[in-house]
Structure 1
Amino acid sequence: MMLVEVTAPAAGALPVAVLRDHLRLGTGFDLGGADDGAETAALAGFLRAAVATVEARTGKVLLARRFRLRLEEWRDPEGQPLPLAPVEAVEAVGIADAAGAAVPVDPAAWRLVPDMQRPVLAPVGTFLPAVPSGGFAEITFRAGFAAEWAGLPADLAQAVLLLAARYHEDRSFEGSAGALPFGVSALIERWRSVRVLGGRGQSRGRA
């Protein structure tokens, strides 16, 4: 399995100004003003790192973007689970032979079964189309809560801000890369999935 991020979040979607205000109120640091390009770039970097960490811990995509999943075989031809949520739409499904020649699958042959923990690409009939030996299936889908920061669930948005502030305040963060601050862990806990049975998701809270 190979998952590739095809598009990045929309330009300007990261809440740099919100993080700047949060840091000023919480720490009293002088960040050099809104026109400080170097500081703005640094804050955006901390936000990207925090978003990536929260997404990795929860399996949820925060800011909407497009992904491509490549599979050498279906995990289950009666319904292929997708590794991220929430999925807004499956845009295309293709099947390639051993030579890499891809043929699109008719959209009438598949459908998206939305789920906050484990969305599924399901066949309209009995099975998804067979993947040739040496070939692969490719699914292009769009996932994320919202294109803009204001559309994110409040607890996940706050978790990102807290974590980005932590990265800013402790820029080395050495020895703590595997641990999240307690406040961040508490905010994301209900969104996490427990993966069992080879990757099947089970909600720890919100469905």
Structure 2
Amino acid sequence: MMLIDEAGVPDAALPVTEFTAHLRLGTGFSAETLQEPVLRSFLRAAIAAIEARTAKALVRRVFALTVHDWAARDAHPLPVAPVTRLVSLGFRDRAGTETASGLDVVWLAEDAHRPVLRAAGGALPAIPRGQSAVLRFEAGYAAAWGELPADLGQAVLLLAAHYYEYRDATSLGGGCMPFGVTSLIERYRALRLHAGAGR
């Protein structure tokens, strides 16, 4: 299985102004524009870390999921939430040629933590030998930063500020995340009770 973020978080969706205010940086100086790429990089890092920790997409965008086998005959769990819509389903051969398949054979079972691709009939379409299925879907809480849940937005700012403040540190442990951030994102983390297709 391979998940690809096809577009990434656009620059326009990054809260540079809010982050600048959060850091209490001065404005109106010639160095302000020089700081923006640095601030954007820390915001991107914070978003990526929170998305990885929660398996949630913050800013809405399209992902491509490639699988060689379905998890179950009639269902396959999606690795990120919340999924807002299915975009396309196709099959890719070894040469990289992709053949489209209709979305009428599948449907999305929405879930806050474990959305599932389900068969509209008795089974998901068979993946031809030597090929892989490619499902594109849109996922994310909001199209614009101001529409994001307040606790997730605050967690991103806190973590980005942490990265900014300790950008030269070399003694922090792996996976270090401030307590304030972990407490804000805790309710978005799925409890892993069992494996499978999320039945």
Q: Same fold (TM over 0.5)?
A: yes
Q: Distance in 1 between matches of 2:159 and 2:58?
A: 14
Secondary structure of the equivalent of 1:134? coil
Asked if residue 159 in structure 1 is aligned to residue 159 in structure 2, the reply is no
Q: RMSD of the alignment, in Å?
A: 2.0
Secondary structure of the equivalent of 1:12? helix
Deviations 1:40-76 (A, max 9, x none): 1111111000000000000000011111010010011
Secondary structure of the equivalent of 2:88? strand
Q: Is the CA contact (8 Å cut-off) linking 2:81 and 2:140 kept in structure 1? A: yes
Q: Is the CA contact (8 Å cut-off) linking 2:91 and 2:133 kept in structure 1? A: yes
Alpha-carbon spacing, 1:173–1:195, altered in 2? closer, same or farther (3 Å): farther
163, 177, 182: which is aligned to 1:180? Answer: 177
Q: Is the CA contact (8 Å cut-off) linking 1:96 and 1:137 kept in structure 2? A: yes
Secondary structure of the equivalent of 1:138? strand
Alignment match, 1:112: 108
Q: Which runs of 4+ in 1 moved over 6 A?
A: none
AA partner of residue 186 (structure 1): S
122, 126, 130: which is aligned to 2:122? Answer: 126
Asked if residue 52 in structure 1 is aligned to residue 48 in structure 2, the reply is yes
1:10 CA displacement: 3.3
76, 79, 82: which is aligned to 1:80? Answer: 76
Number of matched pairs: 197
Secondary structure of the equivalent of 1:133? coil
Alpha-carbon spacing, 1:153–1:173, altered in 2? closer, same or farther (3 Å): farther
Alignment match, 2:92: 96
Asked if residue 36 in structure 1 is aligned to residue 22 in structure 2, the reply is no
Asked if residue 189 in structure 1 is aligned to residue 186 in structure 2, the reply is yes
Structure 1: gaps (5+ residues): 202-207
Deviations 1:5-63 (A, max 9, x none): 11122331111110111111xxxx55774862221111111100000000000000001
Secondary structure of the equivalent of 1:3? strand
Q: Distance in 1 between matches of 2:168 and 2:52?
A: 20
Q: Is the CA contact (8 Å cut-off) linking 1:98 and 1:133 kept in structure 2? A: no
1:98 CA displacement: 5.2
Alignment match, 1:205: none
Asked if residue 3 in structure 1 is aligned to residue 12 in structure 2, the reply is no
AA partner of residue 176 (structure 2): A
Asked if residue 140 in structure 1 is aligned to residue 133 in structure 2, the reply is no
Alpha-carbon spacing, 1:10–1:97, altered in 2? closer, same or farther (3 Å): closer
Q: Distance in 2 between matches of 1:155 and 1:69?
A: 28
TM score, norm. by length of structure 2:
0.91
Q: Is the CA contact (8 Å cut-off) linking 2:72 and 2:197 kept in structure 1? A: no
Q: Is the CA contact (8 Å cut-off) linking 1:167 and 1:173 kept in structure 2? A: no
Alpha-carbon spacing, 1:107–1:46, altered in 2? closer, same or farther (3 Å): same
Alpha-carbon spacing, 1:181–1:31, altered in 2? closer, same or farther (3 Å): farther
